[in-house]
Every structure is written in C-alpha cells, then in structure tokens.
Structure 1
Amino acid sequence: MKTFLILAFFALAASAIPIKESERVHGENGWYVPQEDGTSEWVDMDVAEQWMEAQELLEGRGLTTVPVKFYLYTSSNPTKGTKITTTTKSIDGSHFNAAHPTRFVIHGWTQSYSSSMNKDIRSAWLSRGDYNVIIVDWGRARSIDYATSVMAVGATGKKVAKMINFLKDNHGLNLNDVYIIGHSLGAHVAGYAGKNTDGQVHTIVGLDPALPLFSYNKPNKRLNADDAWYVESIQTNGGNLGFLKPIGKGAFYPNGGKTQPGCGMDLTGSCSHGRSTTYYAEAVSEDNFGSIKCGDYEEAVAKECGSTYSSVRMGADTNAYMVDGDFYVPVNSKAPFGMIN
C-alpha cells in the first residue's frame, strides 16, 4: 500500500506543469522534501496538497496503521522507562503520580524513544524534581519516506490526546500541569494532540517545527498558537527544515533562527535543526538563555533587535505568563550554549 501511494504521489507530480526552478520558494509555492540520504526533492504545493488530501481520507478510514507507544520515566525510574497504555491496570502498576507535573516528549522523523533528544530532555526535567516524563514513540516517524511520516502526524497526535484524556478522566491528571514538547514533525504531533484534548493543555513547546509539507497559511494542519494555553517555538533552522515565520505565541530565534554556530557548513540543515532540542534541554536544566525582544520576526532573523536583554529567558516555565512576541537569542558555538549565568 505504501509503495502504491508513493508512486501515486510522483504520478501526480509528473502530470502537472511544474514550477520553474527560478520561481520556487520553499514553503510558499512548494517544498524541498527531505530524503533519507540527506538530499531533497522539490514538490509543487498544489501537487503535494492533492496527494495529502487523498492520504488523509485513507488515514481516516483506518486503512493504515499508526503505532504509538508511551514510556513513563519518574524520579523512581529515571533511566528505565515503563511502557504504559490507556488501561487502569497499566497506570496503577506504574510510578505515575498525578500530584506531579507531566511532560510529554515527542521525537521527529527517523527517531525513536531511545533517541538522544529524549534522554536529554527527560534528564533535564527530572533534574528539577518530581515529574512524570512520558516519551512518545511513534513508529511511522521511522518511515524512510518523509511524506508517509507526515501523513501519520494527525493520527499520532490524536493518540497522544487519547492518553492525556484517559489520564485526566481516570487518574487525576491536571491539564494545567501538562507540557507537550515536540521536535520537528513531533512539534506538529504536539499541535494535533493539543487540538484533540478534552480541555486545553497548559503549554506546548515546538522545537524547530518542521516546514516541508506544512503550510503557514493552514494553521489547523500544523502546530499553532491556539493549540495550548501557551505555545512556545524555538526556531533554529528556519526556511529550511523548520519554519522561519513565528509559530508560537512566544517565538524564539537563536542566532537569528536560520543556522546555528558550531554547525559548520551544515548543508542539509540537520545540525541546526537538532540544536533546538539541545538548547531546550539546557534551558530546562540551566535557565541560561537570555533573549532580546524584537519588533517582529524579521528583526530577529536580521539580528536587528538591539543589545538590551529582556527579562524573558527561552524555555523558562514563567514564559506562559509573560511572553507574547518574537525574541532574538544569542548563543555560543559549544556547550554551554546559553550566554546568561
């Protein structure tokens, strides 16, 4: 089935009048879609959207499977996760404690629950005290075909929402204590989770939300600022693998948001894209990323926001109560990346 759908995708592309290379604008009239080998292939926006609409119908009819697993880590089991399911027996047999805040962490394309970003963010939160850290492992992220992974984002988000709703309805989870943290495609999974919870979760943090095959002009099909009471985006490879335009109520642009120091040539953008997860883990544990308030995101990208630090720190818990707008974030080229002690 998957092979057939991929062939159908390229058949659509072949039958359409392609946009000239000189007229291509990534994210505006099409996308450079990443491939497994690190290269990218251009797809016109209208072709991609036709294909995705057809795929959504198949997803909705249940013709494809979207396996999602959840692994709980707490101060009682900080390094060995307990697999949990939406059953009372499973939750009662785990270390889940509704009196403690809960953090869901969602990886991106090609990754799994054992990926380093999950370990780093999990360790950062548990270093701060008692938390339920739930790592989401979604199998369709590991498809070698990026577009196929994209089509699983909505269904995966709904499964995350189902777990949140189950914990709320049966085990005392307070939505005001819930953060959903997602990287790349996982950021949009977090958005769909927020759209489908019974009530609004407190915070979603989008770590360089993926740009290919997502349109800024269709916020209902991606992470957007209304998916939680507060949405923060940390944008590190904007205009390439991630969005450049602001996604969150609070949008942070380390080094201007396009490329990151210490990443060298970074032709594919993968280093800068991944830095969002490294920065966030450090922000949680160290609270050391000072920021400069900008008039708009274009000022942040141009690094023309002045030199006066605001009182806002990227990734801080207090941001939900005081942040609205776009921020430039100076960073170092190696750890510690934050510049404020």
Structure 2
Amino acid sequence: MPIKTSQQTNSQLQNKIEKKMLRALPLFFIAFIGATCKEVCYDGLGCFVDSFPFSGTLQRPFALLPESPEKISVKFTLFNRRLGVNSEVIKYNSLGQYYDATLGTKFIIHGFLHNGIKQWVVDMKNEILKADNVNVIVVDWSKGNGFPYTQATANTQVVGSEIARLVNTFINTKGAKAADFHIIGHSLGSHIAGYAGSKIKDLGRITGLDPAGPYFENTDPKVRLDPLDAVFVEAIHSDGSANLLLGLGLMQPLGHVDYYPNGGKNQPDCPATSDKLLGGIFNIATLDVAGVEDTVACSHQGAVSFYIDSIKNRCKFTAYPCNSKDDFDQGNCLKCSAKGCNRMGYWSSPSKDLGTLYLNTQTPLKNDNFCLQNFQVGLVSNAKDITGVQARGRFTIFLETQTETSSVELLDDSTSTFKSDSTEIRLLSLKEPLKNPVENIYVYYKKTSNFISGWLYEDKWSFKYVEVLNGDLQTSTKYCPTTTHIFTDQTVKFRKC
C-alpha cells in the first residue's frame, strides 16, 4: 500500500473540510449564488460564466465575468532573429510579415499589475533568442490586469482565449504545428497559459512560473493550470506560503513535473512570513510600489529569475524526486530514477524524472550565480570496539580535486548522536561548484563541550568510510580514512578506497 505524503494528506484533509463547509452553507446563500449566475459571450472567443466551478466554492465564493476583449486590449508583439532589434505587432487577423512557421514559437505572459515591457519580460525574450532560433511573442494584457484582483482573475480567461485563437490561426493558415508552441506564464499568466492550452489540441508545452495561488489553489482543473492543458506541463513554485502570509503562489502540484526550489516558498534572502506581511503593509501604507515588489513579491519573482538564468545554461538546476523540503535538506533525496535527473527551467524534459522534484539554489536576489552543487554524504561509523559508544559534536568537511579545494562545510553541529555501526546521511551544497572529480575529502571533529552531557561522548571517533554521491553526475565514491580515529579538534584525510 503506497505511503501518503504529508502534502497529500494535508490536501485531502483540506478538501474534506471545504466540502463540509460548502454543505453547511445556508440555503439562502446557495440560492443567492444560483440566482446571480451570469454568462457573457464574445465573438470568436466563446462564452464565459461566473458560476461553478468559477464561483460557489470555498476558494472562490464569488466571481466576476471577464471584461470585453476591447477593454482588456491584448497586444501581441513578435520578435525573432530575422527582425533583429525590431519587433512586429500582430493579430489573429493580421499575422504580419515576419512570423516564421518553420520555427518553434514561445509566448511570454506577465501576471497581475505587470506589463509586456517589464524588465524581466525583456530579459527573458532576449535570452531565449540568444539560445534558440525561434519566434518569441510577448503578450501584454496590462489594460485588464489591475485592481480589483478578482476582475483580473476573470479577465485571464479572455486572454487565454485570445492566445488560443492566434495559435490556431497559425496552425490553420500557416501550417504551424501545435507541438512547436511553448507558452510561458508568470503568476496569473500561468493560468492564462492553461486556458489557452485547453483550446489548442496537442499544444506542445506550458511553463508556469510560480502560478498564482489566491483564487486558484485547490480549485477545479477547469479553473487553473493542469496537466491536460498541454503535452508537457511544468511548474516552478517559489512562493507557495499560505495566502494569509502573503504567499502569492501555490504549493499544489499542477503539471507533469513540479519544481520546488528551496522548498517552493520563502526564497533565500527574501522576506519570509511575518517579515513579508509587515513589510508589505508598511510599503502599501507609504505607497512604495517598488518596496511592495521587493518584500511581498520577492519570492514570487524567484521563479522568473531562476528560469531566465536557466536559459543561459550556466547552472544545471538538477532536481530530485522528493516528498518534502525536510527530506531533501536531510540528504535523503539526491538519487534520480532510471529515466535520469531532470533540470528545472528552460531545459526541462518530459523524458526525464517527473512528479514532485526538489532542489536548492542560491538567493534569487543575486544575478551572477544561482548554482549550488549538491552531494549526498554518508558517514559510515565503525563497530563499537573501535569507535566506542557514541560521539556528538561539530563535524565539518571539505573536498579536494587535483586542482581545487572546496569551501569548508558544516555536516553536523551537535544536532545528532553518532553511534557505532550506523550511517548518518547529510546534504552538502557547494556555492562554488567543483569542475573536476573529487580525489580526497577531509573531515574535522570537535567533541561537544556541553558541561552536563559532554562526558557521555567520545573524545575520538572512527569511520569505516565516507561515501559521497555527486547529485549532478549520479556517481557514488567511497573514501577511506588515512588514520583509524579522528580525535577531537583534529582533521583526518580520506582517500578513494
């Protein structure tokens, strides 16, 4: 019988609670919802409703109808290498001169309050064109993505339908192939991509960059991005905290593969939970829009930063099957399946590991280096007659190649008790990746100096060997000590066994 993960259990519990709450709604309230349901239809785009599942649920008690295409005024701007530094505005009924149906096509869609000339949109477009000879179409829907948020969420349906109509026109009139289209959306743009994909048969790929959580998490698949919206659907989650803590993304898996960098929320050096809440309130009160972006949206933009960097192919962004951030941080999730490790970002593949994948990165506030090189370190202790009873203290490690020496990293700081005939697993993440194979490792031990319990632990310890798994290469190597014991305050060298 498969073991339920905590994420699955929490989701199931939440669904049960929501169902009970909905059943408990007063009859007059349900009657009110039914009496006010409306529908609006727009030529060439279809009809849209404000009824279930778009309203009448715990996540969406009410909904608005989308505004007209004229009001939202979606703008499509085409870029490709043939155009050079220029661009061309296109429409479904005026495709222009420069669209090349023999090339793949990437759509970039911004989210709430952003626009098509936002710096991250420009940077992503430029990096894609450097990496790939493709068409890039930037979608600007900034006349329909303002306050109130509930209206912007409704307008996403019209934007998705506009994109679908344009793609289907390319397919029907230019001979383009649905498999060659890739729609990339951030926040609300992720769900726009889903709406578009639901109206394009066999759309190739959708990338959701921290898909918006408020009004979307745990809703019906018709309401949000889901795996049926394209042949390959992926999502990068970077701000999945609860909405009351100003988490703008969601933790719920939405695609064939869902990446959770740094656990999927509270990105390194970004304001977290209460700090985010207090900072957001202060900046809103002082009308500091840039400050709101830096505090409330820092983690939310993390997915965008990682994705743009992934296009450059500097970091591998290797991701690993795992159930939770805790499991990953404990070093339990650095092995990939026989299909091979997948890579978060532009070079993600439907033929590699799918499902829920975790990885750690450096802070998204730095643009020079997001990389972390991950190793699983297994410390295998000797038998009792060699090691003694138990050890507790500060263990550190550094790695050595023929030409490089890594930084010194903490493996354990008196948080665990090392016992004989046991194996302790640790995650080792290097900010400066090693380019060559590891030849030697060095382990340092400092016995705990706790006055009350220090006497319980040995002044020396003995490891049979240390096994190091390179997460990127998926290769494992054993290193044996050059001396029998590590005495307190001493460093011992380990060579390949």
Q: Which amino acid aligns with 2:62?
A: W
Residues 288 and 222 from structure 1, CA distance in 2 versus in 1: closer, same or farther, beyond 3 angstroms?
Answer: same
Q: Which amino acid aligns with 1:321?
A: S
Distance (Å, rounded) in 2 between the aligned partners of 1:106 and 1:63: 16
Match of 1:262 in 2: 269
Q: Tell me how far 1:307 sits from its aligned partner.
A: 5.6
Deviations 1:259-316 (A, max 9, x none): 11132456153001011111101112215243342343x3578745636264211124
Q: Which structure is higher in helix share?
A: 1
Distance (Å, rounded) in 2 between the aligned partners of 1:78 and 1:329: 36
Deviations 1:156-177 (A, max 9, x none): 1011100100111111221111
Over the aligned positions, Cα root-mean-square deviation in angstroms equals 2.7
Which structure would you say has the larger RCO, counting Cα contacts within 8 Å and 6 or more residues apart? 1
Distance (Å, rounded) in 2 between the aligned partners of 1:338 and 1:188: 28
Distance (Å, rounded) in 1 between the aligned partners of 2:105 and 2:69: 33
Asked if 1:129 is matched to 2:132, the reply is yes
Choose which of 74, 90, 95 in structure 2 pairs with 1:91: 95
Residues 216 and 277 from structure 1, CA distance in 2 versus in 1: closer, same or farther, beyond 3 angstroms?
Answer: same
Q: Which amino acid aligns with 1:291?
A: T
Higher gyration radius (CA)? 2
Deviates more, 1:298-307 or 1:204-213: 298-307
Q: Which amino acid aligns with 1:51?
A: F
* Contact 1:255–1:303, Cα closer than 8 Å, also in 2: no
Match of 1:223 in 2: 225
Distance (Å, rounded) in 2 between the aligned partners of 1:285 and 1:300: 30
Asked if 1:285 is matched to 2:296, the reply is no
Deviations 1:199-233 (A, max 9, x none): 12111000000011113241110011111001110
Residues 339 and 229 from structure 1, CA distance in 2 versus in 1: closer, same or farther, beyond 3 angstroms?
Answer: same
Q: Tell me how far 1:144 sits from its aligned partner.
A: 2.5
Residues 188 and 318 from structure 1, CA distance in 2 versus in 1: closer, same or farther, beyond 3 angstroms?
Answer: closer
Deviations 1:77-133 (A, max 9, x none): 34433111112xx3242x211111100010000011101221121112101131100
Distance (Å, rounded) in 1 between the aligned partners of 2:175 and 2:147: 39
- Listed as ranges, the gaps of 5+ residues in structure 2 are 1-13, 22-54, 242-246, 281-295, 374-432, 434-497
Match of 2:121 in 1: 118
Match of 1:35 in 2: none
Q: Tell me how far 1:193 sits from its aligned partner.
A: 0.4
Distance (Å, rounded) in 2 between the aligned partners of 1:176 and 1:47: 36
Match of 2:75 in 1: 69
Match of 1:173 in 2: 176
Q: How does 1:30-49 map to 2 (within 5 A)?
A: 46=57, 49=60
> Could you state the TM-score of these two structures normalised by the residue count of structure 1?
0.78
* Contact 1:208–1:237, Cα closer than 8 Å, also in 2: yes
Residues 299 and 45 from structure 1, CA distance in 2 versus in 1: closer, same or farther, beyond 3 angstroms?
Answer: farther
Q: Tell me how far 1:146 sits from its aligned partner.
A: 1.2
- Listed as ranges, the gaps of 5+ residues in structure 1 are 1-24, 31-43
Q: May I ask how many residue pairs the two structures share in their alignment?
A: 292
> Could you state the TM-score of these two structures normalised by the residue count of structure 2?
0.54
Choose which of 323, 341, 352 in structure 2 pairs with 1:322: 352
Match of 1:33 in 2: none
Match of 2:194 in 1: 191
* Contact 1:295–1:305, Cα closer than 8 Å, also in 2: no
Q: Which amino acid aligns with 1:91?
A: L
Distance (Å, rounded) in 1 between the aligned partners of 2:262 and 2:316: 11
Distance (Å, rounded) in 2 between the aligned partners of 1:287 and 1:126: 16
Residues 242 and 138 from structure 1, CA distance in 2 versus in 1: closer, same or farther, beyond 3 angstroms?
Answer: same
Asked if 1:235 is matched to 2:237, the reply is yes
